[in-house]
Structure 1
Amino acid sequence: MTDEAVLNALREAARLSPENLPLRRHLADQLLASGNLSQAEHEYQAALALSPGDHGIAIGLAEVLVRQGKNEAALTALDPLLAMPEHPVRAGVLAAQAMLPVNRMAAAHWYRYSVARDPSQADPELAHRLGIGQPSAPPPSPAPAAPAQPPSPAPAAPAQQPSLIPTAHSPSVVPAPHAQPQAAGGPYGSADAEPTAEVEHSPVTFTDVAGMDTVKEALRMKLLLPTQQPELFAAYGKRAGGGVLLYGPPGAGKTHLARAAAGELGAAFVNVGLADILDMWTGSSERNLRATFAMARRNRPCVLFFDEVDALAARRSDMRQAHSRQIVNQFLAELDGVDEHANEGVLVLAATNAPWYIDAAFRRPGRFDQMVFVPPPDTVARAAMLSLMCRDKPQAKMDFDKVARATEGFVGADLKGLVDRAVEAKLHESIRAGRPVPLATGDLMAAAKTMRPTAVREWLGTARNYVLHANESGAWDELLPWLRDLR
């Protein structure tokens, strides 16, 4: 029988036995092999309707769609496979083909990752179009930590328009095959995208933070002491980890304090910026959040720090778009964890200048159940901060107390700017003298006269409105002493 005769016989058999899954799949495979792509697509769709979870059928359908240039539909078919902890290698190669026209970097990632697992799936033509050579095998990762995941194409918008995650990672990175969290969904939604935030190890400790004794003690009780004395804390059912919301005026040292908390423990530190989470494509932000939390759990003990958290945790009642509310919902779900031990050993620190805009659900016990005000430094703290900032610079005998008294209302960022300005002036003098000229108290005083506090009074003025008129719960009571002298 000729090939066409064989296909006709299979078509007739499938017509007479439409529920015969092996027959339909065989017919679809033969149509694909013979180049009858439109008919093969129809048969694969029919077979997939009979067995929605069949990986081979989904891969066959995706291959047909890619060959026809229907890349969006191909990625939709591949989505359930790419979300698997060990996705079929052929699915990854097809995903790379489908992504290539719109996101070469993401396509290169998927191709490298897949072919590194199974070199027999290498496609020299595709590799040439991607502009890459043949990847080497991914390096082994230590157990039980799971390494970073391959970048996932972004999920589709509600109208099923294509969308891809732009990734900042180098195409030379070959992610290793490990279990991936569930995807956010959509035609490009797969497992969590590879987080763009990086794991650091902070050299800063609490000795590098002047003042803030109350804040330091709160952080010690949350992470440091439970790790150092686990038996004692276990007796009371307390574990290392939890959530702390740091709030206060801009420049008061919230980020510096978070780094110091990680350094004090010797824990990993993940500084999460808005660009690491927020994405223009629907569903991508949620997946980025999930990936970031997963990375922190793999590196516990870990301090996971979210700066400007009000952009991720704003009040849902103020939001007009469902997508924004979904980000808040995902954030809450990650704070809760899949079980009571999910976030053990992960201290989630968040900082904001506008705590009154944060959804009240975040202040529920078990989430950011401890709100800590990071105040502007008092005179003693300012003197200590100036001493720390000048300790590695040539200096004469310094009267930091005098400078501290002259810098009322200055926060850490202001003091840093003051020292930088004084150092610049001293550098000009040193260049003229041909030798290092020690920094003196007068240099700092001269710089202080040219500066004004940046934001404390303005911030306290805003806070006053909430303290006096929207404080039914008593959440802002600790701000009251700071408002008494505000005119």
Structure 2
Amino acid sequence: MPVDPSVIAALTVALDTDSENLALRLHLVRLLLEAERYPEALEHSAFVLSRQPDNTEALTYAARAAEEAGQSSRADSYRRLLRALRGDGATAPEPPTPLTSTPAPARLRTDGWDEAPEPIFSAEESTIRLSDVAGMEAVKRRLNIAFLAPLKNPELRAMYGKSLRGGMLLYGPPGCGKTYLARAVAGELGAQFISIGLADVLDMYVGESEKNIRALFAEARRRRPCVLFFDEMDALGRKRSLRRESATRDTLNQLLSELDGVGSDNEGIFVLAATNHPWDIDAALRRPGRLDRTLLVLPPDAPAREAILRLQCAQRPVGTLDYAALSARTDDFSGADLVHLVETAAEYALEDSVVRGTVRPIGNDDFKKALREVHPSPRPWLDMARNYALFANEGGIYDELVEYLRAKKLL
């Protein structure tokens, strides 16, 4: 029986007001799969996995949706994670997806299977600088104090005994530029940048995930100065009390050991991690010497919003736009929201151009229409974060968040 589109629409609206209802979201995923709306199913499955990375139902749906959407490598990653969580090593492993073009020699496993090659994590040179990041002056200052100034001033670093090791946790609403900031830090340092996700680490064989972590830090030490960036850190470093599966416990312990630099020197390795849910991260990861500094990355302020809007419009045919007024009307918009707003306004102008049979520039009226459709996404996150800021602010870890919520009259 075909899926009624009105049911999907109703569920989507319900999730707009209750975005953390994961059971409802999974029900929507099932309907989207039946309706063959695979990209949407994949997006919602990924949302569930960002909250519950060990949710086997979501992994199953994500693998199918990714495969049907033509993203075979992504589907393979989800399947590997699923097998690892289930402890299912009975079937022959799929060929590993190479992370670089240089093959590693295969080795023979003691159980008779061909062992996957030692992981080689690809690094890149970042061309982004902090000057490319609009606004966020307080964030830039913290990053400068923590990483950049000590590196650029070795004499002062030695005088004050400042180490070039350590880590920082970037947290805040989705779409506010945490990954972009990490790349900017790597660019400022002139350092190699290695971005890591859960699928790059977790392996179906017992003990292989820990080997991947060791190989990752070994690669970083060879490439120092190097910025290691862990995206969605709550997936890898989730509180042990919240884990429904034990498959990643040893992986977390290995990560803690590598962060401590046990048996190795981590000087010149800068660890940055991003999360939308800092309250779900194991407390052991936030001890001194690990991810001991926390930085709140908020939605862009008015000057930053105007800069983002101008940047997004720079390569499009635009008329006379009132960027200041647009910036004022997009309070609480994330950077991703602003990109979506410009794209929506461009769609209206394109549609009108097709009807008219002549190209016209994007105008203020297009943005007025787009603003009726695009809304700020950080508010649900801020509503959820308010409870942690009020009742779980041990040691003042969320003081910045409390200050922001008070300024927004949300406390």
Shared fold, TM over 0.5: yes
1:262 corresponds to which residue? Answer: 186
1:473 aligns with 2:395: yes
CA RMSD of aligned residues (A): 3.3
Say which of 285, 290, 312 aligns to 2:209: 285
Say which of 381, 402, 406 aligns to 2:325: 402
Give the distance between the partners of 2:126 and 2:105, measured in 1 at CA: 26
8 Å CA contact 2:129–2:185 kept in 1: the answer is yes
Give the counterpart letter for 1:448 in structure 2: L
1:463 corresponds to which residue? Answer: 385
Measured against aligned partners, the alpha-carbon deviations of 1:249-296 in whole angstroms (never above 9, x if no partner) come to 111111111112222233211111221112232222222222222222
Structure with larger RCO (C-alpha < 8 A, sep 6+)? 2
Give the distance between the partners of 1:172 and 1:206, measured in 2 at CA: 31
TM-score, with normalisation over the residues of structure 1? 0.60
Over 3 Å counting, the alpha-carbon distance change for 1:392 and 1:479 in structure 2 is same
Say which of 420, 443, 446 aligns to 2:343: 420
Over 3 Å counting, the alpha-carbon distance change for 1:195 and 1:465 in structure 2 is same
1:313 corresponds to which residue? Answer: 237
Give the distance between the partners of 1:337 and 1:316, measured in 2 at CA: 22
1:202 corresponds to which residue? Answer: 126
Query: What is the DSSP-based 3-state SS (H/G/I as helix, E as strand, rest coil) of the residue aligned with 1:235?
Result: helix
Say which of 82, 96, 99 aligns to 1:167: 96
Residue pairs, 1:370-389, within 5 angstroms: 370-389=293-312
Measured against aligned partners, the alpha-carbon deviations of 1:122-175 in whole angstroms (never above 9, x if no partner) come to xxxxxxxxxxxxxxxxxxxxxxxxxxxxxxxx99x9999787585101897443
1:242 aligns with 2:171: no
Residue pairs, 1:225-374, within 5 angstroms: 225-319=149-243, 321-338=245-262, 342-374=265-297
Measured against aligned partners, the alpha-carbon deviations of 1:47-98 in whole angstroms (never above 9, x if no partner) come to xxxxxxxxxxxxxxxxxxxxxxxxxxxxxxxxxxxxxxxxxxxxxxxxxxxx
Give the counterpart letter for 1:452 in structure 2: H
Residue pairs, 1:440-459, within 5 angstroms: 440-454=363-377, 456-459=378-381
Say which of 390, 395, 402 aligns to 2:313: 390
Say which of 137, 141, 146 aligns to 1:217: 141
TM-score, with normalisation over the residues of structure 2? 0.70
8 Å CA contact 2:256–2:285 kept in 1: the answer is yes
Give the distance between the partners of 1:245 and 1:419, measured in 2 at CA: 30
Percent of aligned pairs sharing the same letter: 48
8 Å CA contact 2:202–2:248 kept in 1: the answer is no
Query: What is the DSSP-based 3-state SS (H/G/I as helix, E as strand, rest coil) of the residue aligned with 2:394?
Result: coil
8 Å CA contact 2:100–2:121 kept in 1: the answer is no
Over 3 Å counting, the alpha-carbon distance change for 1:457 and 1:470 in structure 2 is same
8 Å CA contact 2:99–2:121 kept in 1: the answer is no
Aligned length: 325
8 Å CA contact 2:104–2:117 kept in 1: the answer is no
8 Å CA contact 1:241–1:346 kept in 2: the answer is yes
Gaps of 5+ in 1: 1-153, 178-182
Over 3 Å counting, the alpha-carbon distance change for 1:322 and 1:464 in structure 2 is same
8 Å CA contact 2:240–2:249 kept in 1: the answer is yes
Give the distance between the partners of 1:304 and 1:255, measured in 2 at CA: 11
Over 3 Å counting, the alpha-carbon distance change for 1:199 and 1:191 in structure 2 is farther
Give the counterpart letter for 2:219 in structure 1: M
Query: What is the DSSP-based 3-state SS (H/G/I as helix, E as strand, rest coil) of the residue aligned with 1:323?
Result: coil
Over 3 Å counting, the alpha-carbon distance change for 1:284 and 1:392 in structure 2 is same
Query: What is the DSSP-based 3-state SS (H/G/I as helix, E as strand, rest coil) of the residue aligned with 1:245?
Result: strand
Give the distance between the partners of 1:218 and 1:384, measured in 2 at CA: 21
Give the counterpart letter for 1:439 in structure 2: I
Over 3 Å counting, the alpha-carbon distance change for 1:342 and 1:248 in structure 2 is same
